[in-house]
Structure 1
C-alpha cells in the first residue's frame, strides 16, 4: 500500500459512495458492498498537493453490470489522472481559448500557480479534451437540431494547400453549430448531393434552405438534392466580386506611390541621420512619409491606395509653408526638390485615383441598396435594376456591349477600364440574380455566408498562434475540421469540468510539429490626417534651430 508523502500537509481526502437513494445499486436496486481502497495517490491542484484515497464498491447482484468493483470518484479529480480538474481547466482555457502553445502553457502554469507540469502532459490534456469536446458537441448539436425540426444549411470549402484536399464545413445557421466537416479531394455536385442526404439522415430532420457562395458545383448539388428549397447566394461573396477590380486598381496605386517614396533621397538615407546634418533635419519628414505609405484598409470601406494618395497630398500642403522660412541654400534646395518630387508622383497618379474614387462611389450605391434588409425582395430588385440600367445606358452611349448574356468574364486587373468594370458588374448581377434576393422574404435566412469565412479565419488564427506562419496550411487541413466543432464550446471552468467528467474516451495520439516564429516589426500610424504624429513639430523645431544659427 502506498504511503502518504511527508511533503503533503493537507488532510487526506477519501471518496465514498454518495447517493440520495442510499447504499443501493442505481442499475438493479440491489445493495452495494465495499470492496477495498487503493491506499491513496497524489493529486496536484492549483492550491497544492492532495492525498486522495479512493474506495471501490460492487453490486451484490452477480448478474448486474456493476458487480465488478468500481471506484467512487473524488469530485474534482479524473480517474488515474495526476492533476485535478482545476489544472486541466486552466490548461484547456490557455490552449483553446487563448491560443497558447504547449511550451508557453508549461511556463505560465509554473509562473502563475507554481504547478510543475510537463509539455507532454499539457499536450495529452489538450488532445484528450479534443475528443471529450467533440463528444460533448456531437450530443449538444444533435439535441438542438432535432429540437428545431429543420436545418438551414451553410456550406463552404477552403483549400489551404495547393493540389491538396479541401476542408469542407457544413453548418446549421439556426443553431450556429457545425454539423459535418470533411476533407474532399474534389467536390463535384453528385458528391455534395450525397453529403446533404447524409446530413438529413444523421440528424433526422430536413434541410429547408441552403446558404453558400455561387460555386457551380454547389448550385448543381442543391438543384439535384431538392430544387424546391431556397438557395441563398452569399451577398458578401457577391460584393467581394464587385469590389475586386477596384481593389486591383487601388493596390496598383499604392504600389506605385510606395515605390516612388522609397526612392526619395531623405527616405533612402534616413539611417545616416546620426552622421549627416541634412538627413538629420529631414528625418521627421522621412518618418512622416513612411507613415503615409503604411496604409491599411478593409475590403469595402477603406482603400489603402486612395488613403496613401491623400496622405501624400496632405504632406505637400504641410511642407509648402516651410519654403517661406530663411533657410540655408542646401536645405532650401532639398525642400524644394522634395515638394516637386511629391507633387510629381501625386499628379502622375491623380487620374488613377479619380477612377478608383468614381468606381467606389458606384460600389457604395449597390452596397447601400443591399443593406436595406428591412425591405422585401421586390423593392431590392427594383433598385438593383435601376443601378444596372444606369451602367447599361453609359455603355450604350459609348457604343459598347451592355447585354449581360454577351459579356464574358475578365480577370480583375488594374488595367481594366471603367467601361470594362461596368460590363463585369452587369454580368455579375445577372449571374447571381437567382439567389441574391431570396433572404429578403424569409426572416430565418441569412444574407451572407460570413460565419463560415470567420470560422476558417479563426481556425487559421488558432493554428498560427500555436505554430507560427509555417506549416499552418497542412495543420489546418489535418485538424481544422475537429477544431471547427470545438469553437462553439463555452470555455468556462464549470463547463470544461463537466465535459471532462462526462467523457472517459481514450484519444489516439496525433503528431503536431512545433514551430515558433517571432518577428520584430514597427507599426506606424498611417492616419496622419487625423492623428498628429508629431513629425512636423519636430521638423519645425529643426528649421527654427537652423534660422537661429
Structure 2
C-alpha cells in the first residue's frame, strides 16, 4: 500500500551544529558555510532539522571544502531517510517481540501519528536488521565480551530451508550465545566453510577451547583443517539418528504391518452408538485406547513407535483377557479383543529382532547421556557395547544388517563423541543452535502467515537471524542502532542487494527463459565490439 495521506507540518525544530570548529587535518578554523534542512518523522512528532555544515578553506589542506556535518545528526536519522531511528527501533520490536505483520505495524505507527506506507515499513525493517547486525558484530564489543570469558566454545551449523538455494552458515559462541559470524553461501563445500572458520579464528581475541556440531561431512573436514588440535564434539543425537536409521525403519515396517491387521474398531464403536448403559461406556473406552495407540508416533532415534504400539495393544489384549476370566465381556460382545489379537499373532515374528536391536540403541543412548564419568570411561563403556553387538548380532535375526550399520557409523563418529566429557562447559549436542533456527523460523511464520519458510530467511539471514534473536533477548533502542559503523553497514547492504539481484535473475529466467538468454546474448555481443 502506497502512502496516500499528505505529511503534516513540522511541530518540532532542532538546530544541530558540529562540535568541532577547527579542521582535524590542518588545525585551521572551519566556517559555517550553509545549513542543510531536513524533515524527519519521529515518534515525538514531525521534526525539522537544521544541520549546520562547516568547511575548511585553508589552501593546501587535504580536506579543503570537505563538508563536516553535526555528529548528532547520525544519532537520530540515517542518511537520505525520512524516518528516525526511534521509528526503526519500534518497527523491529513490534516485529520480533510481538510478532506483528507489516499491516499491523503500519496501523500501530499510524495510531501514534506516524504517516507511513506498508512498503516503507518493509524497507525500514530491512534497515533494522542490517543496523543491528552490524552493531552486534562490532569488533570492540566482541573483544570486550569474549575477553571477559577468556575462551570461546564454537557451535557450527548450516541452514538450508530451500534445497538448491543458499546455505546460511552460523558460527555461535556457546558460552555467551553471541553469533560470531552468519554468512550465506551458494554451496556446502568444506573449503568455503573452512574460510569462515578461519575468519572467526583470526578475529577471535581468546583461544577456541572446543567446537560442537552435527555429523555433516563438510563441517568435519573444515574443522579438521582449521582447528586440528581443538577438542571437537559431534552431536550424539545426530549420531544415534543416523546409526539407528535401519533399525528405526524396521520398527516402522513392523508397525505398518500391525496396523494393517488391526481392523474392526469402527464397527465395534457403532455397536455402542446411542447407548447409555455402562457396557457401552466400557466399549467406547477400549476403542478410544486402541485409537490412541494407533495414532501415537514416536520420534527417532530412541523412541520406537512400533514397539510402543505393540506394547499398548498387548496391554489392551491382556486387560480384556483378565476381564473375561472374571466373567466380564466375552470376545463376541464387541469389546475389541478380537481386533487386536489377530494383529499381535500375525506380526509376532517381526517384534523380537526389533526389540533386541532397539535395546542396544537405548543402551548406547544411556551411555552417552552419562555426565559424571570422564571420557575414558564413556569410551570404554560404548566400546564394550559395540563389541557385544558384533558378537551377538545374530540375536537381531533379520535386523543384523541394521546392527552392522550401527557399528559402522559408530566407527565414523568415534573420534568426536567424547570431547564434551573432558572439556568443561562444552555442550554435548548442537541442539541450542538448531533450536535458535527453529525459533526464528516459527516466529517468522507467525508474523507472516506463511506455511513454509520464507526465502528471505536465507537470502537476508545473515542480518535477519542475528537481529531477530538479539531483539527477543534484549531491548533495542535507537542508540543501539546509531552505534553501527556506517561503512560496514553500507558494505553489508551492498552484499545483501547483490544476493537479491542474483535471486531476481533466477526468477526472471524461470518466467521467460528465451528472453533472458536473448538479453545475455546481446550483452555478450556488445562486449566483442571494438571500443
TM-score, normalization by structure 1: 0.67
Question: What CA deviation, in whole Å up to 9, does each residue of 1:478-532 have, x standing for no partner?
Answer: 233433433441447852432333346565676999xxxxxxxxxxxxxxxxxxx
1:261–1:267: 8 Å Cα contact kept in structure 2? Answer: no
Question: Corresponding residue for 1:124?
Answer: 123
Residue 229 of structure 2 aligns to a residue in which SS?
Answer: coil
Between Structure 1 and Structure 2, the one with more helix by share is 2
Taking structure 1 as reference, are residues 199 and 92 closer, same or farther at Cα in structure 2, changes over 3 Å only? same
Inter-partner Cα distance in structure 2 for 1:346 and 1:201 = 62
Question: Corresponding residue for 1:500?
Answer: 481
1:139 is displaced (CA, Å) by 0.6
Match of 1:56 among 37, 51, 54: 51
Pair 1:178-2:182 in alignment:
no
Inter-partner Cα distance in structure 2 for 1:176 and 1:492 = 10
Taking structure 1 as reference, are residues 259 and 152 closer, same or farther at Cα in structure 2, changes over 3 Å only? same
Taking structure 1 as reference, are residues 68 and 462 closer, same or farther at Cα in structure 2, changes over 3 Å only? same
Question: Corresponding residue for 1:458?
Answer: 439
Question: What CA deviation, in whole Å up to 9, does each residue of 1:238-272 have, x standing for no partner?
Answer: 222344334323433444455556774449989x9
Inter-partner Cα distance in structure 1 for 2:131 and 2:474 = 15
Inter-partner Cα distance in structure 1 for 2:255 and 2:408 = 28
Match of 1:378 among 372, 376, 379: 376
Where in structure 2 are there 5+ consecutive unaligned residues? 1-5, 275-279, 505-531
Question: Corresponding residue for 1:101?
Answer: 101
1:448 is displaced (CA, Å) by 2.4
Residue 446 of structure 1 aligns to a residue in which SS?
Answer: coil
Inter-partner Cα distance in structure 1 for 2:198 and 2:474 = 38
Question: Corresponding residue for 1:536?
Answer: none
Question: Corresponding residue for 1:435?
Answer: 416
Inter-partner Cα distance in structure 2 for 1:199 and 1:72 = 33
Taking structure 1 as reference, are residues 230 and 92 closer, same or farther at Cα in structure 2, changes over 3 Å only? same
Match of 1:387 among 385, 388, 394: 385
Inter-partner Cα distance in structure 2 for 1:54 and 1:231 = 55
2:36–2:51: 8 Å Cα contact kept in structure 1? Answer: yes
Taking structure 1 as reference, are residues 466 and 308 closer, same or farther at Cα in structure 2, changes over 3 Å only? farther
1:261–1:289: 8 Å Cα contact kept in structure 2? Answer: no
Inter-partner Cα distance in structure 2 for 1:379 and 1:264 = 50
Inter-partner Cα distance in structure 2 for 1:347 and 1:144 = 67
2:129–2:467: 8 Å Cα contact kept in structure 1? Answer: yes
Question: What CA deviation, in whole Å up to 9, does each residue of 1:27-66 have, x standing for no partner?
Answer: 779799796685x957463xxx734343433448656899
1:155–1:168: 8 Å Cα contact kept in structure 2? Answer: yes
1:123 is displaced (CA, Å) by 0.7
1:473 is displaced (CA, Å) by 7.0
Inter-partner Cα distance in structure 1 for 2:118 and 2:183 = 30
Taking structure 1 as reference, are residues 211 and 42 closer, same or farther at Cα in structure 2, changes over 3 Å only? closer
Question: What CA deviation, in whole Å up to 9, does each residue of 1:179-206 have, x standing for no partner?
Answer: 3334445444444444433333444666
1:129 is displaced (CA, Å) by 0.7
Paired residue total: 475
Question: What CA deviation, in whole Å up to 9, does each residue of 1:183-231 have, x standing for no partner?
Answer: 4454444444444333334446665544333444444444444533333
Pair 1:135-2:116 in alignment:
no
Inter-partner Cα distance in structure 2 for 1:501 and 1:267 = 70
Inter-partner Cα distance in structure 2 for 1:37 and 1:241 = 64
Taking structure 1 as reference, are residues 59 and 473 closer, same or farther at Cα in structure 2, changes over 3 Å only? closer
Inter-partner Cα distance in structure 1 for 2:465 and 2:8 = 44
TM-score, normalization by structure 2: 0.69
1:295 is displaced (CA, Å) by 1.8
1:237 is displaced (CA, Å) by 2.0
Inter-partner Cα distance in structure 2 for 1:334 and 1:82 = 78
Taking structure 1 as reference, are residues 343 and 210 closer, same or farther at Cα in structure 2, changes over 3 Å only? same
2:16–2:49: 8 Å Cα contact kept in structure 1? Answer: no
Question: Corresponding residue for 2:515?
Answer: none
Inter-partner Cα distance in structure 1 for 2:8 and 2:185 = 55
1:89–1:497: 8 Å Cα contact kept in structure 2? Answer: yes
Residue 452 of structure 1 aligns to a residue in which SS?
Answer: helix
Inter-partner Cα distance in structure 2 for 1:369 and 1:283 = 42
1:30–1:59: 8 Å Cα contact kept in structure 2? Answer: no
Residue 460 of structure 2 aligns to a residue in which SS?
Answer: helix
Question: Corresponding residue for 1:335?
Answer: 334
Taking structure 1 as reference, are residues 33 and 285 closer, same or farther at Cα in structure 2, changes over 3 Å only? farther
Taking structure 1 as reference, are residues 237 and 82 closer, same or farther at Cα in structure 2, changes over 3 Å only? same
2:13–2:47: 8 Å Cα contact kept in structure 1? Answer: yes
1:153–1:210: 8 Å Cα contact kept in structure 2? Answer: yes
1:24–1:30: 8 Å Cα contact kept in structure 2? Answer: yes
Question: Corresponding residue for 2:521?
Answer: none
1:309–1:346: 8 Å Cα contact kept in structure 2? Answer: yes
1:34–1:58: 8 Å Cα contact kept in structure 2? Answer: yes
Residue 429 of structure 2 aligns to a residue in which SS?
Answer: coil
2:166–2:186: 8 Å Cα contact kept in structure 1? Answer: yes
1:132 is displaced (CA, Å) by 0.5
2:89–2:476: 8 Å Cα contact kept in structure 1? Answer: no
Taking structure 1 as reference, are residues 194 and 116 closer, same or farther at Cα in structure 2, changes over 3 Å only? closer
RMSD: 4.9
Match of 1:423 among 404, 411, 415: 404
Inter-partner Cα distance in structure 1 for 2:135 and 2:368 = 39
